[in-house]
Structure 1
Amino acid sequence: MSQAGLPTSPEPALSSGDDPREFAAVLHAMYDAARSGGQLPARPRSVIGESWERATDAGVDPEHGRPVDPLEISTVEQRRVESGLESILESVTGGLDILLSGGENLLVIADATGHVLWRSGGPSALRRADRLGFSEGASWSEKAVGTNAIGTALATRQAVQIFSAEHFVRTHHSWTCTGAPIRDPQSGDVLGVVDVSGPASSIHPTTLALVDSVARLAQSQLRDAHRMHLDVLRSVAAPILARVGAPAVAVDPHGWVAAIDRLAPRPRIALPRSLRAGQQDISGIGLCDVEPLPGGWLLRPIEAGTSSTGVTVRISREQDGPSTVQVDSMRGSWVVTPSPRHLQIIELLAAHPDGLTAAQLSAHLFGDPARSVTVRAEVSRLRKQFGSLIATGPYRFSSSVTVVS
């Protein structure tokens, strides 16, 4: 057991050979006794008992939950972009198709706050979920609806299966749900939860192992994608470090080292949350010149008597080939070939040094200020390449950048 009393490995709600109907009857009796303060016929699993305590402390109504208005679809779309989960959707869906084939179960992917971002399933499963408010944008954290596979997996950071009256809210007792957290291999944070929910009668102990395996496969894919990202960053940074001829290191946004020269080798550097271009103190290194790289940062310890310089962004629109954006600094340069849409955004920001709101950018790009969700998603992707060179609130090139077009 862990220090918190939670299982250190996935624990199915039902053992192989158990009768679901008999077990459900025991759980209902246990639940009713717990609610009325009577003698419990059995003790709940530790993961359930501790979750019930958290739900009670949060003030969740065991009869109806704590209704929370779902997020607007525009906010859901934005969260999908920012969640870090889009790239693994296909593998998660493919890995769990077998559990959806009967039409009774629902596949849900929620973000790190427990809000439902995607769901799929047969028409009857979707209708049953809608009656519970189990829809895209709804919160299924423990604070909102008590014990459930999404919220409890987030709270415990473990795969978990919740059956029948183990759910804190009575209206959920006809369900069984199985959830497993998906962790970010770069930061170690939980990105979200993959969940399979359906009628209580559909429970099977092997479901937990399958859902947990699919979540771990998704994490492996994210890890492989991170390695590829570091390889690309290394290919950009290596010639720059060679030209610098002084101590320097290239890191990704989470501080993982892609290339290092004349500094003690280390796998990762602790970066401040507000890292930006310019001079900044870096833990374990000291005061550094910080310059953006495509998908990361160049950190160069500052020697006495030296100072950082600004950055020049050169936009080259070609007639017979792809247009490029070149970023030049004192330490080197790198080139990006943006998509046509990203090139439009870059040129608009260059033409409006005071900045543009998402609605204003939308009006310029689409002739419609209402498509700001699409704009925010595109700028979010663009900033992954240019980092703090593009500032927000409103969107603009930062003051340290000179734009040449």
Structure 2
Amino acid sequence: MNVAETPEPELLRDPESYARLLAHVRAAVLAGVPGPRSPRSVVSASWDRSLAAHVDPDAGEAPFVYDGDALAALREAHPLAPVLPVLRQMLVSIADDAEHVMIVTDADGLILWREGAAGQLVRGDRVGLTEGTRWSEAAIGTNAMGTALATGEPVQIHSAEHLVRRYHTWTCAAAPVRDPETGALLGSIDVSGPLRTVHPAMISLVTATAQLAEGQLRAQLAVRDERLRRVNMPHLAALRGRPGALLSAAGRVLAAESCTLPSTVDIRRGGGTVALPDGRLATVEPLAEGYLLRLSAAPGTHRARLRLEYLSDGTHSTTVDGREIPVTLRHAEILTLLALHPNGLSAERLALQLYGETGNPVTVRAEIHRLRSQLGASVVQTRPYRLAADVDADFLRARTALRSGTPDGVLRDFRGPLLPESEAPAIREERETLTAQVRQVALNSRDPAVLWSFWETACGADDFAVLDALLRTLPPADPRRAAVTAHRARLA
């Protein structure tokens, strides 16, 4: 990144001299002649957009759009209204101390709220920096609020980086705020003040505040989602196991039964028939809040393929239809136990196997809900909890190979202990039993290749019986014999 992209060092050393330099840069660009330097790329692109919108660099003025009852109604209905107390707590006291003004706009750059030092509010009034005016780039040219909304990124605009001359005595920083449900821009948060108040932390401050606002909106969304699930779950239960789902008003899947769906369904207002990305058709019915989706359970409906690779000294792997899904250790434990019990387990039995006598079925139900949301309700079903996918698990293959008595087959799948970090009672018991059986198969085989495969796992590395068996079976000239001899000597 060149110097033109990072003006902060010069800006902080002498803000007024830097402002004069920016004025020369702006004048040269507008005149179409070489200047003392190039404007920052974010500023140059913004000037181009602003001039294309016919903003007058010398006489532009922020248009006044709303006041009185109309503005009050817009404020009340705006999604950022519930988080305004958080914004005040973060920014207003700082704005007062530093002679700044805190501003919140909507997605079109309309100033909805403005608070800060009394003197700066009066100064803002003189240039139209007040509630009800529009500060999009198309309305008033390059400014932190409008440019943050245009680019979707935080930005700091200083002095003559503003395209319109009357704002050259101001410095400002703004960050966009997005809807956590749809990703759409909701507005921007801005801190503005006179040139002497410029500070390198301004952009970090507004960015952190915007992120905090989005976090608050995300928490409120989670509360609404849970309420919608609770109120509308009877509609999903009424499907009696037929494939369907509860959707939010924006089409996000909140709960699903007997089907795998994308995280969001593209719905039309009022519902109707929708086509899913894989070509399936579904019917969407409006509820008091959100929607109920019904999916045809026609013969030959796709059955998910669940692959579990949990016998390893390293990380475990979970894939659904060839797509790897990162799951927590707890969820891997649940999938293992359900794979070992194909007829299913109750919440009580699963709690006992996961946590022992202190297990709580409520905790299990919460974990199952999260797991179903992640893998899809067609993979993990309820009443009882069971796997409804075609399961391919290395520990099940190893069990089959043990029953068939084929040492090569056993060691082909056994690459380490089952979920070695797990302390769940049933997983620990299965891990110890499987490891002991594989160890015995290796020792009984008297086959150096089988013994070597077991020795390479964490289960056999320091096992004296395995080391001695290898030394008895490996030919004297086999180079592996030296490695085994050295390792045994280190352990002795």
Tell me the TM-score normalized by structure 2: 0.56
1:340 aligns with: none
2:260 aligns with: 264
Other structure's SS at 1:293 match:
coil
Tell which has more relative contact order, 1 or 2 (C-alpha 8 A, sep 6+). Answer: 1
- CA distance in 1 between counterparts of 2:62 and 2:192 reads 20
Task: Please say if residues 267 and 274 of structure 2, whose CA atoms lie closer than 8 Å, have aligned partners that are also in contact.
Answer: no
Task: Please say if residues 67 and 132 of structure 2, whose CA atoms lie closer than 8 Å, have aligned partners that are also in contact.
Answer: yes
Task: Please say if residues 16 and 195 of structure 2, whose CA atoms lie closer than 8 Å, have aligned partners that are also in contact.
Answer: no
Change (3 A) 1:115 1:44: same
Q: Deviations over 1:296-343 (max 9, x none)?
A: 111223689xxxxxxxxxxxxxxxxxxxxxxxxxxxxxxxxxxxxxxx
Matches within 5 A, 1:86-165: 86-102=81-97, 104-165=99-160
2:246 aligns with: 250
- CA distance in 2 between counterparts of 1:156 and 1:176 reads 19
Task: Please say if residues 13 and 162 of structure 1, whose CA atoms lie closer than 8 Å, have aligned partners that are also in contact.
Answer: no
- CA distance in 2 between counterparts of 1:43 and 1:13 reads 11
Task: Please say if residues 14 and 20 of structure 1, whose CA atoms lie closer than 8 Å, have aligned partners that are also in contact.
Answer: no
- CA distance in 1 between counterparts of 2:245 and 2:121 reads 50
Corresponding residue to 1:298 among 292, 301, 316: 292
2:488 aligns with: none
Other structure's SS at 1:168 match:
coil
Change (3 A) 1:247 1:81: farther
1:401 aligns with: none
Q: Quick check: 35-44 or 163-172, which moved more?
A: 35-44
Q: Deviations over 1:191-237 (max 9, x none)?
A: 00000111011101111101101101111111121122111111122
> 1:66 Cα deviation (Å)?
5.0
Task: Please say if residues 235 and 292 of structure 2, whose CA atoms lie closer than 8 Å, have aligned partners that are also in contact.
Answer: no
1:281 aligns with: 274
1:45 aligns with: 40
> 1:103 Cα deviation (Å)?
6.2
Matches within 5 A, 1:199-348: 199-245=194-240, 246-272=242-268, 275-276=269-270, 279-284=272-277, 285-294=280-289, 296-301=290-295
Structure 1, unaligned stretches of length 5 or more? 2-6, 305-405
Other structure's SS at 1:44 match:
coil
Residue type at the aligned position of 1:72: D
Other structure's SS at 1:101 match:
helix
- CA distance in 2 between counterparts of 1:13 and 1:98 reads 27
Task: Please say if residues 163 and 175 of structure 1, whose CA atoms lie closer than 8 Å, have aligned partners that are also in contact.
Answer: yes
Q: Deviations over 1:131-175 (max 9, x none)?
A: 111121110000111000010000110000000110000000000
Other structure's SS at 1:280 match:
strand
Larger helix share, 1 or 2: 2
Residue type at the aligned position of 2:99: E
Corresponding residue to 1:14 among 8, 14, 25: 8
> 1:253 Cα deviation (Å)?
1.2
1:31 aligns with: 26
Structure 2, unaligned stretches of length 5 or more? 299-492
- CA distance in 2 between counterparts of 1:113 and 1:259 reads 34
Change (3 A) 1:146 1:250: same
> 1:12 Cα deviation (Å)?
7.0
Please tell me whether Structure 1 or Structure 2 has the larger radius of gyration of its CA atoms: 2
> 1:269 Cα deviation (Å)?
1.5
Residue type at the aligned position of 2:254: A
- CA distance in 2 between counterparts of 1:77 and 1:289 reads 35
Larger strand share, 1 or 2: 1
1:198 aligns with: 193
Task: Please say if residues 103 and 124 of structure 1, whose CA atoms lie closer than 8 Å, have aligned partners that are also in contact.
Answer: no
- CA distance in 2 between counterparts of 1:155 and 1:20 reads 26
Q: How many positions carry a matched residue from both structures?
A: 293
Aligned-CA RMSD value: 2.3
> 1:13 Cα deviation (Å)?
5.2
Tell me the TM-score normalized by structure 1: 0.68
Matches within 5 A, 1:56-67: 56-66=51-61
Residue type at the aligned position of 1:211: V
- CA distance in 2 between counterparts of 1:187 and 1:86 reads 18
Task: Please say if residues 187 and 254 of structure 1, whose CA atoms lie closer than 8 Å, have aligned partners that are also in contact.
Answer: yes
Q: Deviations over 1:253-283 (max 9, x none)?
A: 11111111122143221223xx215x33354
- CA distance in 2 between counterparts of 1:17 and 1:153 reads 22
> 1:130 Cα deviation (Å)?
0.9
- CA distance in 1 between counterparts of 2:158 and 2:190 reads 13
Residue type at the aligned position of 1:178: A
- CA distance in 2 between counterparts of 1:81 and 1:259 reads 31
Other structure's SS at 1:114 match:
coil
